[in-house]
Amino acid sequence: MIARIVIAVVVVMFIRITCHLRRRHSKIGSVENPGNGKEVVMNIGGSNVVFLVEVLRQVINNFSEDNILGRGGFGVVYKGELYDGTKIAVKRMKSVAVSSKGMKQFDAEIAVLTKVRHRHLVALLGYCINANERLLVFEYMPEGTLTQHLFQWGENGCSPLTWKERITIALDVTRGVEYLHSLAQQSFIHRDLKPSDILLGHDMRAKVADFGLVKICLMGTTGRVTTKVDVYAFGVVLMELITGRKALDDTMSDEGSQLVPWFRQILINKENILNAIDQTLNPDEETMESIYKVVELAGYCTTRESYQRPDMGHVVNILSPLVEQWKPTCHEEEHTHSIFHGEEDTYGIDPHMSLSLTLGKDDK
């Protein structure tokens, strides 16, 4: 008799627990919009959302041309707004790219972005897989890409970037990439760092995007791509920030069309540098001292031998004092955005020390 009662109690408790878990799963598992009955299904295994394709079609106006933010080799990026007012950027893979290679890039981007979270990496909010449709949903960056502000500012109705904005953007990028290289749970290599993959917020603070080509870095292996590939690419970005020129410019002569070899030639003396910098900067003497240090850093980052390039942590150490201690001219204060919010880094280095000595400071 007692055994039957115990069994009955256990069965009742099991049924109650099962029903409770199902109700809880239902609440967490879907967010329904009362207006149209569409569901956005949550991925219980992580913090990202699996969106229904119908929902995304609606919030980006059925992939309207008017919603396009940009295009790339991977596909098209659209602007949208969710039912709660959250603005999003939706990357749609090209239909022809839904191949084994394209799917690897899609899977790689999801795999990396579900593992890394950093204030200077664009956050993945969710994704959608439906037949041949592959969509990634990201946080929306309202000021667009660095490309737009560096090379297309006139046609976009923007003011040219000030030097303060440029070195702050550079520092933001180094912090994001440093996290990928050495501070995340695994070490990752971006492999495709360029101005179009650097996105800007309202405050002109930067975040790194586009992780379709990211690779896990196997520490200690030889004959493989290393994190120094990203350091080189970042050095090229520094050159673009300094000169206002693209890495490859078909409008220039053959000798000047490639930025890196052209830039190496101007490193010979300061007079060359003065003539090579972006003329919209109109730098004073104090600004030029900051520019000279970044020019030197760009040279170190793009040395031919990868082992001679600094780690991203060293690059952060160099740029951080320049951002914190350098003050804009009155002209820049009128035009610059509020891009610095009191972040402080104490690295125990002398900002007046030469770059070569600073880079060697940790090499014992």
Residue 232: its H or E element? helix 228-243
Q: Supply the residues annotated as catalytic.
A: 192
Asked if 98 contacts 134 with a C-beta cutoff of 8 angstroms, the reply is yes
Query: For residue 5, what pLDDT is reported?
Result: 59
Could you report the per-residue pLDDT of 26-40, keeping only the tens digit for each?
Answer: 332 333 333 333 444
Name the phi and psi angles at 278, rounded to 5. -60, 120
pLDDT of 348 higher than 70: no
- In DSSP notation, 56-76 reads HHHHTTTT-GGGEEEE-SSEE
At residue 249 the predicted structure's pLDDT band, cuts being 50, 70 and 90, is confident
Q: Using 50, 70 and 90 to split pLDDT, how confident is the model at 13?
A: low
Task: Name the residue with higher pLDDT: 180 or 358.
Answer: 180
Quote the pTM value: 0.74
CA–CA separation, 283 and 320 (whole Å): 20
Homologous superfamily of 146-358 in CATH? Transferase(Phosphotransferase) domain 1 (1.10.510.10)
Specify the pLDDT at position 216: 64
Domain locations in the chain as residue ranges: 39-139, 146-358
Tell me the per-residue pLDDT of 190-226, one tens digit each, with 9 for 90 and over: 988 999 999 999 999 999 998 766 666 654 444 467 8
Residues 189, 230 contacting (CB under 8 angstroms): yes
Q: What is the CATH number of domain 39-139?
A: 3.30.200.20
Say if residue 277's pLDDT is above 60. yes
φ and ψ of 48, to 5 deg: -95, 160
Say if residue 91 carries a ligand binding annotation. Answer: yes
Q: Which two tokens stand for residue 144?
A: 């667009």
